[in-house]
């Protein structure tokens, strides 16, 4: 089985949307600004529901916001 981690493009997507602030994104998604910061910094993987809400705010498919990267082999 392979191990991996979830990466995201939220920072770039915010920048592309007229530099949307983390606070504005947090309010649209319904989470705290600290949670948006944690997600952007790869310190927290959100639930599927929040992930879909983020993708909906940007108007893009989920895969454009989040990617699963295989990093290492796990015995």
Partner 1 sequence: MEMSYQEKSITGSLIAMLVVYGYYFAAVLRNIGQAEFAGSALGRLVVAVVAIVVIEIVYHIVLSVAAKPEKDERDTIIELKAYRNAYFAYGAGAFFVMAWVVAAGLLQGAASTHMIIRPFLLVNLVLLFLVLAEVVKFVTQLLYYTRGLR
Q: Which is nearer to partner 1, 7 or 12 (CB)?
A: 7
Among 10, 13, 25, 46, binds partner 1 (CB under 8 A): 46
Report the residue count for the chain.
75
Binding mask of the shown chain, residues 23 to 42, with x at each position contacting partner 1 by CB under 8 A: -------xxxxxx-xx--xx
What is d(CA 23, CA 5) in angstroms, rounded to the nearest whole number? 25
Per CB under 8 A, does 47 bind partner 1?
A: yes
CB contact set of 41 (below 8 Å; sequence gap of 6+): none
Per CB under 8 A, does 56 bind partner 1?
A: no
The sign of the torsion formed by the CA atoms of 18, 49, 2, 64 equals negative
Binding residues (CB under 8 A) for partner 1: these are: 5, 30-35, 37-38, 41-47, 50
């Amino acid at each position: 089985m392979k191990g991996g981690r979830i990466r995201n493009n939220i920072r770039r997507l915010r920048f592309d949307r007229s530099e949307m602030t983390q606070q504005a994104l947090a309010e649209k998604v319904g989470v705290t600004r600290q949670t948006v910061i944690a997600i952007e910094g790869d310190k927290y993987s959100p639930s599927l529901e929040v992930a879909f809400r983020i993708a909906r705010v940007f108007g893009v498919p989920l895969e454009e916001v989040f990617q699963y990267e295989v990093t290492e082999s796990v015995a």
